[in-house]
Amino acid sequence: MNTETSRTIFTIGHSNMESGKFVALLNEHGIRAVADVRTSSYSKYIPHFNREPLRCELREHGIYFIVIASNERVELGARIDAACHINNDEIGAKTEGAI
């Protein structure tokens, strides 16, 4: 593999950790950008992971933040509908060669 053109995508969940620990984990692994794929970028129980507080915290540490999923585009992120199910074959077809 040509290292000049290869890309690595990391995943991370915030769980209930403090924002400082979250930023430390990103820095530890050299992460310079975060893409939020949550359907709703809000946390009822952990408000420092709501969209704007998180964006501000990451900006203070030189980490770029972008929201990819939203209620209007649910290809990524959790589905609010409890009857939802995921077709892995369909997802694979949509993401093949995406990067």
Give me the pLDDT at residue 60, please. Answer: 97
Please report which confidence band the pLDDT of residue 98 belongs to, taking 50, 70 and 90 as the band edges. Answer: very low
Cα atoms found within 13 Å of the Cα of residue 11, Cβ hemisphere only: 6
pLDDT at 41 over 90: no
* pTM of the predicted protein model: 0.64
**Distance in angstroms (rounded) separating the CA atoms of residues 85 and 69:** 17
Mean pLDDT within 78-84: 52
Mean pLDDT within 12-29: 90
Return the domain boundaries, the chain.
19-95
